[in-house]
Amino acid sequence: MLERTYQWALAKAGSPAGTLWLCMISFAESSFFPLPPDVLLVPMVLARRDQWFRLALLCTLSSVVGGIVGYGIGYFLYEAIGQSIVGFYHLEREFNAFQDGFREYGAWILLAKGLTPIPYKLLTITAGVVKLGFPVFIIASIISRAGRFFIVAGLLHRYGAPIQEFIEGRLKLVSLLFLVLVVAGVAMIKLV
C-alpha cells in the first residue's frame, strides 16, 4: 500500500494536474482535511527540483488561504462546523489548551506551532474562536507556513537525489518516521 501511495504521489507530481492537487491538499489541510501537503510536496519537488521555489510558494499561499477558511470556521461557525472538525480528530482537550495559549501568547503560538507537524487546522480554527486579530493571523500564517514549506522544498532542492534514493530504498522506514513526527506533533499539543 505504501509503495502504491508513493507511486501515486510521484505520478501526480509529474503530471500537469500535480500543481492543482498540491494546492487543493494544502488548502484543505488548513481547515478540515487530514492529509498534510508534504505528502505531495516532497515527491513534486523531487520530480521537479528546478521548480522548488514555485512549488513551496504555491503550497504556502494555498495553505494560508485554507487557513483563512479555518479561521472563518472558528470565528463564525464553530458550533455549526468547527466543533465537529475538532471532535472528528479527538482534539477537544488540545483545542481548549490552545485557546488559553492563544489568549496569552497570541501570534507567537501560530508562529511556533505552524512550523511543526501539529494539524494546522487546529491552529486556524482556534485562532478564529479566540478572535485573534485577522491581520496578525495572516502575517503569522504566512511566516510559519512559508518557513515550513520553504525549508522542506529547499532541502529537497539542494540534496534531492540522495534524499530520493533514501526514500525509495527505505519507504517503510520513512513512512514510519513521518508517522512518528505526526504523533510527536500531536503529543506536543497535549503538553501545551
Give the domain ranges of the chain. Answer: 2-191
Q: Does the pLDDT value for residue 60 go beyond 80?
A: yes
Amino acid, res. 120: Y
Longest C-alpha distance within the chain, in Å? 47
Amino acid, res. 23: C
Percentage of the residues of the chain whose pLDDT score is greater than 90: 40
What is the DSSP secondary-structure string of 12-57?
HHHSTTHHHHHHHHHHHHTTT-SS-THHHHHHHHHH-GGGHHHHHH
If DSSP codes are grouped into helix, strand and coil, which group holds residue 1?
coil
Chain Cα centroid distance, residue 180: 15
Which residues touch 166 (CB under 8 Å, ≥6 apart)? 174
Any idea which of 23-32, 41-50, 58-67, 125-134 has the lowest mean pLDDT?
A: 41-50
**How does pLDDT run across 114-165, given as a tens digit for each residue?**
877 778 898 999 999 999 999 999 999 999 999 989 988 998 898 877 776 6
Mean pLDDT score of the chain: 83
Find the mean pLDDT for residues 69-88. Answer: 94
* pLDDT value for 1: 52
| pLDDT winner (highest mean) among 14-18, 108-112, 126-130, 154-158 | 126-130
Are 58 and 23 in contact by the 8 Å Cβ rule? The answer is: yes
